[in-house]
Structure 1
Amino acid sequence: MASTRAVPRAVLLSLAAALAAQVSWHALRPAPAPFASALPPAPPLAVLRLASLGEPEALARLSMLALAAHDGQAGAALSLRALDYGRVVAWLERILALDPRARAPLAAASEVYAAVPDPERVRTMLDFVERHFAADPARRWPWMAQAALIARHRLHDLPLARRYARELRLRAPDAPAWARQMEAFVLEEMDEHEAARALIGALLGSGAVTDPNELRFLEGRLEGMPDRMKGEARRTEPAAQSPPGL
């Protein structure tokens, strides 16, 4: 092995300077900007079933994790606005088809992807929940209730909220009473007082509400409706004219 003593001092100094410059350049170079890849199209369901090797539920969980991680890729936080919601829905539908008992797809649709400040994207997610609610209302009622609340309070679309609440009442008789009563409260907000009164009366008469507190609440709401309606009528009447000379 040759000794460094045989190397001229000037050459050693040049090599040291070059090494120091290279180290400094790497240290000072800005980190590469993170790059967020676009969400790929969902493969056909037949392809996914074949790839699952007889374990569709396991593949569904892995696919859900991959989809959930897509909007936070390696330091590149991807805005929900930047996602192709058509592709998001396709992935959620494939995952639900692989595992019909999965809760994550509907939860993600109503709680994550519907949180985007874009009414059209929100409606896309609510439509997805509505389409798949009917297949298993006993298990999927929580997300239908969430859809009704979003339509009512965020979209301010009372007819849409009433439609979701009505489906919830008709298709999920075992859902909690508060969920089945939502339609009556939406009807009140729509000034459909007669319909709201009839619906609350039907709920009380059906025997489906058994909790004493809920029964008292509904009975009080029903008894108070005529008073509220009279008050509204008084507010809309023209002011009485004072007799001449007073």
Structure 2
Amino acid sequence: MNGDFFPLKQAFSEYMARFYAGLHPDTKAMQEYTSRGIARSIIWAPDRMVDAAEDMLASYRKNASGPAGANSLLPVIIVAMAKDYIPTGGDWGGRQVSHRLVSLVEGGSVYGYRQAMGDIRTQVVIIAAESATARSLAAQLALFVAEIQNRRFYCAHEWGQYQLQMPCMLENPDLFFSPVPTEQPNITLLAADITLKATFPYLDAPKAGEPNDGTANNPPGYPLLAQVDVFDHAVNVPSSSTQDGTVWSPTGY
């Protein structure tokens, strides 16, 4: 159990992998970069570190995966997410969903469901030995993010036997890369901020020993407490009932 934010990190890694796969090598450094493999080309930092650019670069170079026990290969892209959590504002539709009963598949078990949407501050830092390569990576990432099909991606949240594909949208598809000051010679650092509008599902089911629907589903769902049929004179058909026994009518009665 890695927490509900792990699928977001995993999905954004896959998002960046798609970017890496489509890079155009227009400098000698880019030719090496595109052939190096993503595992040594795009890495994660523990948290947002743009204010500690020197520490970020030093930490990367001490990584034992590089030549002679140190990773000196440039360029490299470092990705980080902020430690804080900011709920999405009320001007963004569907941001928070209070508790309700839902069926995840047609005719399946019924579970409790809540939904939160948060603004996840993410940062992408490009480190290169010369500015031409740094600008090339920045330009190509900005182009990738701006393309319509790349303005959102999906995070796979697993719960019991189910996998929920939850959307994550980029708040602004326009990236602005700013130079990061560094005292190290012949190094260019460019940083851009990305806010991810991530949706997080929270589900619940009967606990051990509580009544359930008796299915083999994992987990079993809530039992149907009452089946209520009310004759709807407006359309001359029975209306439907909800799982908790309250009546829902197609005409709003």
Would the TM-score normalized by the shorter structure come out above 0.5?
A: no
| TM-score class, shorter | under 0.3
Larger radius of gyration: 1
Instruction: Answer 1 or 2: which has greater strand percent.
Output: 2
Which has the higher relative contact order, 1 or 2, with Cα contacts under 8 A spaced 6 or more apart?
Answer: 2
What TM-score comes out, normalization by structure 1 length? 0.23
